[in-house]
């Protein structure tokens, strides 16, 4: 609707040496990290 709203944002970045670490593994790590940040209780429950 053209309105400005407040939201929670945390920019994350990760630098890796792709000669050593596969990009797919990094993507899975960041996705898991994001899920833990969105729902910290899930970190305790696992």
pLDDT of residue 24: 93
Burial class (CB in 10 A: 0-12, 13-18, 19+), 20: exposed
pLDDT of residue 29: 94
The Cα–Cα gap between 28 and 34 comes to 10
pTM over 0.75: no
25 carries an active-site annotation: no
Cα distances (Å, whole numbers) of residue 40 to 7, 13, 15: 18, 19, 24
Catalytic residue among 1, 9, 15, 18: 18
pLDDT of residue 42: 86
Q: How does DSSP assign 1-46, residue by residue?
A: -----------------TTTS-HHHHHHHHHHHHHHHH-HHHHHH-
- Tens of pLDDT along the chain (46 residues)? 899 998 888 888 889 999 999 999 999 999 999 999 999 998 888 7
């Amino acid at each position: 609707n053209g309105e400005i709203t407040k939201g929670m944002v945390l920019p994350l970045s990760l630098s890796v040496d792709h000669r050593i670490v596969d990009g797919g593994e990094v993507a899975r790590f960041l996705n898991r990290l994001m899920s833990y940040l969105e729902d910290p209780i899930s970190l305790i429950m696992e």
